[in-house]
Structure 1
Amino acid sequence: MNTGVPSLNIGMVGHAFMGAAHSHAWRNAARVFDLPLEPRMVAVAGTSPERTAAAAQRLGWSEAVTDWRELIERDDIDVIDICTPSDTHREIAVAALAAGKHVLCEKPLANSLAEADEMAEAARKAAELGIWASCGFTYRRQPAVALARQLIQDGSLGTIRHVRVTYLQDWLSNEKAEHSWRLDASRSGSGALGDLGAHAIDLAQWVLGEKITTLSARTRIFVDARPSAGSGNLEPVTVDDAAFVLAEFSDGVIGTIEASRYALGRKNAFGFEINGSNGSVAWEFERNNELQRYDGGADPRSAGFTRVLVTEPSHPYLQNWWPAGHTLGYDHAFVNQAADFVTSICAGLQPTPSFADAAYVQRVLSAVQLSENSHQWQAV
């Protein structure tokens, strides 16, 4: 696509599930949004020459390379997009920022609080030079979620009292399912906690505009060994299968956060309900274009949760998409994210969430693990 708009050259590391979602976003962001720079998909990096070349052709990248360091060294790449397992995030992001590349990094930011803090510090120093970094908590870009935040921020719900967030999947419910890197703490850092709970923690804090300050938590491993994909030999599971958090926020709100990959029947059930003194809102990803809203001042004879179809041009992001009533899906949030990222860095503004925001999520994840180990409340 050549619109005559100057380009912003992208190099992406990793081409699996998240790499495909990000590629879709880079291909389409300038087609949907009027961007000051047009993302150009220069090169993708992977470990296998054959698989990476095939992914480049399928996903729309001009070149394929087998060493991410090559992307960082190239003068014709402006942005490094990190879509690899979380044990690689720190090394790639810190090197990219030091080389003067903007960075978009998938969540969770890192595998440990120490790594996340190092990344946040590298991003802080880079920002002083106009080099920006952001973490991909993409559910912020769902229009109904952004609308819920607007209603809370403008006071429509009154004083917020409590929040409940759940993120439930069932892909590990079969005890014979094969082992993978996601079940190895040295690769993934944690299980449902970091994979799903990180999204839930970020969304709760962002929608409320407040941070979690103290918490009590429990995690569980339900199946402690699984067959290897290669040999069939049992390998130990070293990450949590489910996590439950009771949290206090900085403004006095209390909340619960639940994450599980064993909730049989739930494929990607992410949602929240937030209750205030004047009303409530509720959202679930399986009906992601709808926000349920309750008006506490309504006539009790007809009061009830109202379905708001979030497809109007006045709703967040929707002025750039389809006519009212034509709903969006999972992939559209990645396009919204890419557009926000490009717009922010072109304006010389910190794209959100920042690495500092993502490091605070990591701080909460660390506190959860400390609480599980000590069976005590933990300050964040």
Structure 2
Amino acid sequence: MGLRAGIIGTGFIGAVHAHAVRAAGGTVSRVAASTPDRAVAAAQRLGAAAASGSAEELIDADDVDVVHVCTPNSLHVPLARRSLDAGKPVACEKPLATTLADASSLAGLARGQVATVPFVYRFYPVVREIRARVAAGDAGAVHVLHGAYLQDWQAASAPAGWRADPAEGGTHRAFADVGVHWCDLAEFTSGQRITRLCAVTAESGTTTTVQLATDAGALGSVVISQSSLGRRNALLLSLDGERASYRFDQEDPETLRIGQVDGDLAQHRGSPSFSADSARLSLIPPGHPQGYQDCFNAFVADTYAAIGGAVPEGLPTFDDGLRAAVLVDAVIRSHESGSWVEVPA
């Protein structure tokens, strides 16, 4: 029998979670929304067996084995904490918390339990291949990490909904929302930790630029923007080493770009030369594109495998959510001081 999931929050990301639950062999037993009426409508839309009158009622329900927290940011901590206190595994959207102190407290509470955060871009096969090749030493010493995460949904003063509220999205909301995805990928693939950074945020929090240095001596930079017209979801990462560079583009996720001294290569997902970890996540034949929902499906499948006692490679946990909060805090401190700041390991 598959796990019975309860999903709190039924907007776009709640629907993504619902699809992933079913793909992992689970069932959506309950949903909870901002009002009981919305929960009833969402249960029909998302194919849930029942609607709960409140998030708390859902967490306490006997027919919920695992809780998915897909609410606005300020509700993550109390709902994830209640789930963990009830002894139930939880998948909580990021940011894990709106303050570093709350993220640290929640990560501490979660240790010894299955508690995950959807840094789902880790689950692209090309990303896993970059990680495997860097770890094998194929690139040599990686000395530059650079890229961008560009979106346009905040361009031309478009409404931001609850994210425009500083209590929800923060004054550095683009970095907290998507910049942490870039940092997670940079650290995950390179095996290095960002130890120092210098950041500037502008455009009412929709744009942040960051210069960075790592514990291995690499330098880098990233541009985070949610007001870049024409860029829907451009997550761009380049790891540049002594012998090779590896590039990933989320809007062209099927292709690994490799820069070498004797010429550039483009290798497609599913190449026979790809690593076992990459092959595990390559679920359909090359030429049939895998995308964002497939990554989410893999994330939830690995979360559920962990609940069953497995130890999936690269599963992002609340400790990774805490790491994101550490980086957001460093960006805020740097912007406010106008200087480089140290980033705790």
TM over 0.5: yes
Contact 2:5 2:65 in 1 (8 A): yes
Distance 2:228 2:282 in 1: 36
CA displacement at 1:320 relative to structure 2: 6.1
Given the superposition, is the C-alpha separation of residues 150 and 320 from structure 1 closer, same or farther in structure 2, using an over 3 Å criterion? closer
Match among 256, 274, 279 for residue 291 of structure 1 = 256
Given the superposition, is the C-alpha separation of residues 98 and 317 from structure 1 closer, same or farther in structure 2, using an over 3 Å criterion? farther
Match among 1, 14, 28 for residue 23 of structure 2 = 28
CA displacement at 1:260 relative to structure 2: 0.5
Match among 57, 65, 78 for residue 78 of structure 1 = 65
Contact 1:165 1:204 in 2 (8 A): no
User: For residues 326-350 of structure 1, what are the alpha-carbon distances to aligned partners after superposition, in whole Å with 9 as ceiling and x for unaligned?
Assistant: 2212211111111111112212548
Counterpart amino acid of residue 89 in structure 1: H
Given the superposition, is the C-alpha separation of residues 317 and 58 from structure 1 closer, same or farther in structure 2, using an over 3 Å criterion? farther
Q: Does 1:306 align with 2:265?
A: yes
Counterpart amino acid of residue 204 in structure 1: A
Gaps of 5+ in 2: none
Q: Does 1:181 align with 2:162?
A: yes
Match among 360, 374, 377 for residue 323 of structure 2 = 360
SS of aligned partner of 1:206: helix
Contact 1:107 1:198 in 2 (8 A): no
1:83-232 aligned within 5 A:
83-124=70-111, 127=112, 131-175=113-157, 177-189=158-170, 190-221=172-203
Q: TM-score, length-normalised on structure 1?
A: 0.85
Partner of 2:300: 338
Counterpart amino acid of residue 105 in structure 1: C
Given the superposition, is the C-alpha separation of residues 320 and 274 from structure 1 closer, same or farther in structure 2, using an over 3 Å criterion? closer
CA displacement at 1:295 relative to structure 2: 2.8
CA displacement at 1:80 relative to structure 2: 0.7
Match among 317, 321, 324 for residue 286 of structure 2 = 324
Partner of 1:375: 338
Q: How many percent of aligned residue pairs carry the same amino acid? A: 34
Counterpart amino acid of residue 305 in structure 2: T
User: For residues 189-216 of structure 1, what are the alpha-carbon distances to aligned partners after superposition, in whole Å with 9 as ceiling and x for unaligned?
Assistant: 3311111111111111111112111111
Partner of 1:255: 220
Contact 1:173 1:264 in 2 (8 A): yes
Distance 2:280 2:315 in 1: 19
Q: TM-score, length-normalised on structure 2?
A: 0.93
Distance 1:253 1:319 in 2: 29
CA displacement at 1:172 relative to structure 2: 1.7
CA displacement at 1:318 relative to structure 2: 5.3
SS of aligned partner of 1:293: strand
Distance 2:98 2:229 in 1: 27
Distance 1:80 1:375 in 2: 40
Gaps of 5+ in 1: 1-5, 31-38, 222-238
Contact 2:196 2:342 in 1 (8 A): yes
Root-mean-square deviation (CA, aligned residues, Å) is 1.7
Alignment coverage as a number of residue pairs: 338
Contact 2:299 2:315 in 1 (8 A): no
Distance 2:152 2:281 in 1: 35
Partner of 2:243: 278
Counterpart amino acid of residue 331 in structure 1: Q
Given the superposition, is the C-alpha separation of residues 241 and 22 from structure 1 closer, same or farther in structure 2, using an over 3 Å criterion? same
Distance 2:160 2:118 in 1: 26
Given the superposition, is the C-alpha separation of residues 99 and 197 from structure 1 closer, same or farther in structure 2, using an over 3 Å criterion? same
Contact 1:312 1:318 in 2 (8 A): no
Match among 35, 41, 46 for residue 33 of structure 2 = 46
Distance 1:138 1:112 in 2: 22
Given the superposition, is the C-alpha separation of residues 279 and 182 from structure 1 closer, same or farther in structure 2, using an over 3 Å criterion? same
CA displacement at 1:254 relative to structure 2: 1.2
